[in-house]
Structure 1
């Protein structure tokens, strides 16, 4: 009998609205994740106290854990603490570092995890991947996809504008990642998952064409849903490939060689624009460049404080960050001199837009 359908892991509950954190107890009960609120709530040091005060009325049985987050050691330390008692679920509330720490710790013991995003910096809020630093190098670790994804627009509103705008760069980079996936199919015969590609592309196209900015609820909601869609694309594909190509190789290389240069989403958007230029796709290049400029996101290395020598080194190092990937960077296999020449042409092209 032919296989007529497939099962795909997705969150049981997705909610994007204002006031979601205060209603978390009801959300967990309605989603049949925890009827009594016996959950481990993981928060970061920044918004921790404010979040705890909002949660107390609806989650009286919850235990609060504060984590610096962002490192494998922090995730393992949290996992050790979770063994102390039974929890229905782990709820990670905060930005990407806090959520990824909670995702990894929950997966260690097979606990359901609910992602509550207070910023829209990247697509990790709904992905089956935790990005954590180990020995100074950021790596991607496979985890169970969150059972629930909640975005509280009140907290997004109050968060740093630059942090939230970075999510735009991460979503837009899907266009470049999908072009790399198509290239890998043409050159190496790799299989492209049509459903994963569609989920990845829909969010990116929505953000590229949608008017408005981070002051507009409709735009912010679309951005949140686009980031969630990216996470689902990765879950469907069983890999980050639908949302991570040469753009993210450049991002990871920058993180490795020049830490703290810029955020994940800012570098992904910049990397995507550069890779799109390398492909010679003028229509997409103009569309992406206009979008990044409109939302005040970096488009050139100098925008994030990198000089030409540093960026040449980043592009040369980038393929080593994902040895299994085949992207435009591996395809062109440029020498440092070729990268330098392309970078000069790229800077001119950006300036012309």
Structure 2
């Protein structure tokens, strides 16, 4: 009889609730992640430093490591510092996406399990098998194990800057566009699509797209948190970022590389990329819905909303396929000239309307 099941790499604990942070010590002990309490905790200079004061009394065996940069050098240094200190049971990443990405890489480098404790919801890297880190060539994606546990305290999330919470909305919605790109590659090139990973990523995006709430409500924050966690797990299932990264992310990476001093938040940029990609593939109704939902959540829709001119956007879109060689999306499929991109953009503006704060000049 054939084996009809498969193992799915995922955290042993996912706790998304108010007061989840108060259960951290119990989770570590109950799940036998750290019986001795010997922990290395990577913290940000902002929310992480504040929460250290709250957690230090219940984690007496922890050593605290401030992380200031989301770079490969910072991740390697963190790993080296932990190796030179003492033997730890696990690494805890306490902060936003940058801190968690650094902690994931450092934990993988020294062979320790990693616990992710998110203080904002800026993107879906919280629970993914990938660390996005800046390097000498710009920014790179590094494969790492999925966190062994994931805690999101809604009370902590409420204290985060609203922009860093809304950013995750754009990243979640972009799943829908990314899966469409994956299916396009299957139709054109025969690329294999993992149905479970695609379904998980798409439904995560749809849950956020269709939810009537906003970031002031626990119900919406729970759905958004779950969507970002499911996006990460979908990438573990597929073994790459395909379920959550398509043309939308290529455009965002192009912004990062071409305009590093002016790039916006990741989720803001991929949201803009997703609207444009859906428009390119002829899904005009969906592109309009994306735009409406992004605006309802005070997120950018057009490049002018984050300070980029039309010509800068055209340059970024034309360059975008170079950011992910070998990945096939609607951008590679259409292979538009600069004039073609410009025409598509102007058609999009007519379809979704100019945002009130959009402008044609740079920041």
Contact 2:291 2:352 survives alignment (8 Å): yes
- In structure 2, the residue matched to 1:141 is 142
Give the Cα–Cα distance (whole angstroms) in 1 for the partners of residues 157 and 24 of structure 2. Answer: 16
- In structure 1, the residue matched to 2:250 is 249
Shift of 1:55: 0.9
Contact 2:11 2:146 survives alignment (8 Å): yes
TM-score when normalising by structure 1: 0.98
Give the Cα–Cα distance (whole angstroms) in 1 for the partners of residues 136 and 185 of structure 2. Answer: 31
Give the Cα–Cα distance (whole angstroms) in 1 for the partners of residues 218 and 317 of structure 2. Answer: 37
Contact 1:23 1:58 survives alignment (8 Å): no
Q: Which runs of 5+ in 1 are unaligned?
A: none
Shift of 1:306: 0.4
- Higher mean C-alpha displacement, 15-24 vs 255-264: 15-24
1:218 aligns with 2:219: yes
Contact 1:185 1:192 survives alignment (8 Å): yes
Give the Cα–Cα distance (whole angstroms) in 2 for the partners of residues 115 and 270 of structure 1. Answer: 28
Among 322, 347, 350, which residue is 2:349 paired with?
347
SS in 1 for 2:65: strand
Give the Cα–Cα distance (whole angstroms) in 2 for the partners of residues 168 and 234 of structure 1. Answer: 18
Contact 2:28 2:34 survives alignment (8 Å): yes
SS in 1 for 2:57: coil
Contact 1:114 1:147 survives alignment (8 Å): yes
Deviations 1:286-312 (Å, cap 9, x if unpaired)? 221111111111110100100011001
Deviations 1:231-252 (Å, cap 9, x if unpaired)? 0000000000000000000000
Shift of 1:36: 2.7
- In structure 2, the residue matched to 1:273 is 275
SS in 2 for 1:40: strand
Shift of 1:20: 2.3
Contact 1:67 1:98 survives alignment (8 Å): yes
Deviations 1:113-172 (Å, cap 9, x if unpaired)? 000000000000000000000015111110000000110112211111011000000000
1:180 aligns with 2:187: no
- Higher mean C-alpha displacement, 160-169 vs 40-49: 40-49
Contact 1:178 1:243 survives alignment (8 Å): yes
1:336 aligns with 2:338: yes
The Cα RMSD (Å) is 1.2
TM-score when normalising by structure 2: 0.95
Alignment of 1:55-204 (within 5 A): 55-84=55-84, 85-204=86-205
Give the Cα–Cα distance (whole angstroms) in 1 for the partners of residues 57 and 18 of structure 2. Answer: 17
Shift of 1:47: 2.0
Give the Cα–Cα distance (whole angstroms) in 2 for the partners of residues 248 and 352 of structure 1. Answer: 22
- Higher mean C-alpha displacement, 342-351 vs 137-146: 342-351
Shift of 1:352: 7.6
- In structure 1, the residue matched to 2:299 is 297
Q: Which runs of 5+ in 2 are unaligned?
A: 356-363
Give the Cα–Cα distance (whole angstroms) in 1 for the partners of residues 303 and 177 of structure 2. Answer: 18
Give the Cα–Cα distance (whole angstroms) in 1 for the partners of residues 350 and 303 of structure 2. Answer: 13
- In structure 2, the residue matched to 1:325 is 327
Give the Cα–Cα distance (whole angstroms) in 2 for the partners of residues 345 and 230 of structure 1. Answer: 31
Against the structure 1 CA distance between its residues 352 and 253, is the aligned structure 2 distance closer, same or farther, given a 3 Å change threshold? closer
- Higher mean C-alpha displacement, 27-36 vs 139-148: 27-36
- Higher mean C-alpha displacement, 2-11 vs 108-117: 2-11
Shift of 1:202: 1.4
- In structure 1, the residue matched to 2:361 is none
